[in-house]
Amino acid sequence: MCGIVAYIGPKDASPFLLEGLQRLEYRGYDSAGLAVVAPATRTAPARLKVCKVKGRVADLAAAVPARFKGGTGIGHTRWATHGVPSDANAHPHTDNEDRIAVVHNGIVENADELRAKLTADGAVFRSETDTEVLAHLIAAHRTDDGELEDAVRAALKLVVGTYGIAVLDAEQPDRIVVARNGSPIVLGIGEKEMFAASDVSALVRYTRQVVHLEDGELATVRADGFRTFTEDARTVTRQPSTVDWEIGSYDTGGYAHYLLKEIHEQPGAVERTLSGRLDERFATAHLGGLNLDARELREIRRVKILGCGSAYYAGEMGAQLIEELARIPAHSEPASEFRYRNPVIEADTLYVAVSQSGETYDTLAAVQEVKRKGGRVLGVVNTVGSAIARECDGGIYLHAGPEISVASTKAFTSTVVAFALLALHFGRIHDLSPADGRRIVSALKALPDQIREILEQDAEIARLAAAYADSQGMMFIGRVRGYPVAREGAQKLKEISYVHAEAYPASELKHGPLALISPELPTVAMVPDDELLDKNLTALGEIKAREGRVLAVAHRPVGPRLADHCLVVPKSEPELDPLLLNIPLQLFAYHAAVALGRDVDKPRNLAKSVTVE
């Protein structure tokens, strides 16, 4: 979703801004723009220069005039919410005197009301966006002898909604003012130069020293430093932290796409999620961040997992693990629905929010709803220090590494591993025997090598994906543990290849979807070698009897009578099998998308982190 970058220092801002915007492309966007303060000359005062276009960052780079010089600048990639993607609606937005320029992530909820008032006072709006309201509002509070930060503070007091903003003032080119409320802003500290962005990935080439603003905080950023303060002008001290990921984590590293790289990074990601958390002596897991002792955990009677999209499906696998290993009722629900149904919050229920980015607005709002009603929430989150991680009472960091591609793969897998650790920990506090605990511990340790084994089938999966890619749609089926695998497999295929895909429990086929089966609608079937094997094979027979094509993902070869093709994956313990069955489906979706010529890392209409409702 929208991205912000800002630079102030002795160099020209625009090369950094363009590169930073390129690094934020993965978040999804439809237009891009820059503003710099062109320095005063002997004949003219300093003034704003703005360049913005509908389209890609490359289009913006081509449109930026050669004389677009200035050491103070802001940039933006926009994902349309208010108004169509267009040059006029692209950010930055300016006031009528072109003195103030603003880039904004988030939504101004009272934009219509503010716009009406500003228009009555003489402002002329040049876009349909809520952001332009901010530019006029800040200009209206800007006095000739006042400070930009005071005008920004005064303006933001009138705003209802969420924002991460960066503001330029042509008359105060020695500073950029940034503010955060519900949409991230991170400052980057350089040598006599400073950076800001909505996402650390835009900064890591230039500095590893960063400061994350908290909600309700602002900062004045100058070339030689920064000052953070609250909306009431109270100074707050923020210590820089060091970004611990290698710069290479933000590159494709020789792979054709980030998605392929991230699929192949999964063995390492799983090793990091497990690192230091397995206790072989007591056959359990150590999860230091839960902030719950064994006695408190024993009092939990139910687990409710909240997440969106793939995070919700990973939660379904997590719920299954918790029920099986700890025998505690557990259920996963879309966070986007949860808060709208006035949920009953129970004291003995543990709520678990799942989010790779830690910034998904629907999940954050669900966490806030639980907390407002006195519930306890843990976060299973990849991005350290993100909004959801900070809002939760405790949790498990995935340590999967930065995930750039819009489609989640390594974070999904690491989330399931984190749930396996939580389920093991819970189980061993309840009735999971030491022998079963040891069984799970050794199965978890074996996962990285088993994933490597599956990844070696990449070429074979690519061949199959190309053969199935032109299908009019695909069905994904599985039973019980296999059903969330089918759901995630269908999700991955549809989001990156745009091939329609539906997931069903195999047991439901006869209750409706069997009517769809034909040679044009192939089925991808999960066929683990578990207690439901015979029932799964029966379902395949029913599909084949109706001339359906079948690709089985199985632990043992399924012959041509029941499946046209079969991918054999290594067997784990039954509780962990779903995690491995999912890996070939990621490669299948990836190669189908490549075969269809899709923009794999940036699928249409989607954004990496959905920071609006």
Per annotation, catalytic residue among 49, 52, 602, 608: 608
Q: Which residues contact 208 (CB under 8 A, 6 or more apart)?
A: 242, 243
Considering only the stretches 118-126, 285-293, 354-362, 541-549, report the one whose residues sit in contact with ligand AGP under the rule CB under 6 A.
354-362
Considering only the stretches 3-11, 176-184, 193-201, 356-364, report the one whose residues sit in contact with ligand AGP under the rule CB under 6 A.
356-364
**Shortest spacing between CB 362 and ligand AGP, in angstroms:** 8
**Shortest spacing between CB 100 and ligand AGP, in angstroms:** 32
Site for ligand AGP in 579-598 (CB under 6 A): none
Q: Which residues contact 113 (CB under 8 A, 6 or more apart)?
A: none
Nearest to 216 by CA among 384, 92, 61, 390: 390
**Shortest spacing between CB 308 and ligand AGP, in angstroms:** 4
Considering only the stretches 105-113, 339-347, 349-357, 589-597, report the one whose residues sit in contact with ligand AGP under the rule CB under 6 A.
349-357
Tell me which residue has tokens 């962005």.
Answer: 197
**Shortest spacing between CB 198 and ligand AGP, in angstroms:** 14
| Nearer Cβ to ligand AGP (320/360) | 360
Annotated active-site residue 392? The verdict is: no
Q: Does 610 bind ligand AGP (CB under 6 A)?
A: yes
Site for ligand AGP in 459-478 (CB under 6 A): none
Cα distances (angstroms) measured from residue 486 to each of 251, 451, 479, 503, 527: 30, 18, 9, 6, 11
Q: Does 336 bind ligand AGP (CB under 6 A)?
A: no
Site for ligand AGP in 300-319 (CB under 6 A): 308-311
Out of 89, 349, 360, 497, the residue judged to bind ligand AGP by CB under 6 A: 360
Q: Which residues contact 178 (CB under 8 A, 6 or more apart)?
A: 6, 164, 165, 166, 167, 185, 187, 196, 213, 218, 219, 221
Give the C-alpha separation, 214 to 386, whole Å: 10
Give the C-alpha separation, 119 to 98, whole Å: 16
Q: Does 484 bind ligand AGP (CB under 6 A)?
A: no
Give the C-alpha separation, 562 to 550, whole Å: 7
**Residue 233 in tokens:** 């002008």
**Shortest spacing between CB 420 and ligand AGP, in angstroms:** 18
The answer to whether 375 and 345 have CB atoms below 8 angstroms apart is: yes
Q: Mapping DSSP to helix (H, G, I), strand (E, B) and coil, where does residue 377 land?
A: strand
With the C-alpha atoms ordered 521, 526, 532, 537, is the resulting torsion angle positive or negative?
positive
Residue 207, number of CB atoms within 10 A of its CB: 19
| Nearer Cβ to ligand AGP (1/566) | 1
Considering only the stretches 258-266, 268-276, 353-361, 516-524, report the one whose residues sit in contact with ligand AGP under the rule CB under 6 A.
353-361
Cα distances (angstroms) measured from residue 398 to each of 276, 350, 359, 491: 12, 19, 15, 21
**Shortest spacing between CB 600 and ligand AGP, in angstroms:** 12
Q: Does 356 bind ligand AGP (CB under 6 A)?
A: yes
The answer to whether 589 and 393 have CB atoms below 8 angstroms apart is: no
Residue whose CB is nearest to ligand AGP in the complex, by number:
309
Residue 306 corresponds to which amino acid? L
| Nearer Cβ to ligand AGP (180/410) | 410
| Nearer Cβ to ligand AGP (208/608) | 608
| Nearer Cβ to ligand AGP (14/609) | 609
Cα distances (angstroms) measured from residue 573 to each of 84, 181, 453, 481, 560: 50, 44, 16, 12, 27
Q: Does 355 bind ligand AGP (CB under 6 A)?
A: yes
| Nearer Cβ to ligand AGP (207/360) | 360
In which element (H, E) is residue 194 found? strand 194-197
**Shortest spacing between CB 454 and ligand AGP, in angstroms:** 19
Q: Does 406 bind ligand AGP (CB under 6 A)?
A: yes
| Nearer Cβ to ligand AGP (565/598) | 598
Site for ligand AGP in 1-60 (CB under 6 A): none
**Residue 549 in tokens:** 């094509």
**Shortest spacing between CB 388 and ligand AGP, in angstroms:** 8
In which element (H, E) is residue 84 found? none
Q: Which residues contact 12 (CB under 8 A, 6 or more apart)?
A: 36, 69, 70, 71
Q: Mapping DSSP to helix (H, G, I), strand (E, B) and coil, where does residue 386 land?
A: coil
Total residues contacting ligand AGP by CB under 6 A comes to 15
**Shortest spacing between CB 305 and ligand AGP, in angstroms:** 12
The answer to whether 486 and 594 have CB atoms below 8 angstroms apart is: no
**Shortest spacing between CB 491 and ligand AGP, in angstroms:** 6
| Nearer Cβ to ligand AGP (72/357) | 357
Give the C-alpha separation, 399 to 384, whole Å: 8
Considering only the stretches 259-267, 404-412, 446-454, 546-554, report the one whose residues sit in contact with ligand AGP under the rule CB under 6 A.
404-412
Q: Is 81 exposed, middle or buried (0-12, 13-18, 19+ CB in 10 A)?
A: middle
Out of 129, 207, 536, 609, the residue judged to bind ligand AGP by CB under 6 A: 609
Give the C-alpha separation, 104 to 134, whole Å: 9
Per annotation, catalytic residue among 2, 51, 308, 566: 2
| Nearer Cβ to ligand AGP (24/155) | 24
**Shortest spacing between CB 431 and ligand AGP, in angstroms:** 32
Annotated active-site residue 566? The verdict is: no
With the C-alpha atoms ordered 321, 322, 323, 325, is the resulting torsion angle positive or negative?
positive
Give the C-alpha separation, 210 to 594, whole Å: 36
| Nearer Cβ to ligand AGP (17/581) | 581
| Nearer Cβ to ligand AGP (355/523) | 355
Site for ligand AGP in 252-311 (CB under 6 A): 308-311
| Nearer Cβ to ligand AGP (357/450) | 357
Give the C-alpha separation, 329 to 188, whole Å: 44
**Shortest spacing between CB 332 and ligand AGP, in angstroms:** 13
* Residues recognised as catalytic: 2, 608
Kindly list the residues in this chain that would bind ligand AGP in the complex (CB under 6 A).
308-311, 355-357, 360, 363, 406-408, 495, 609-610
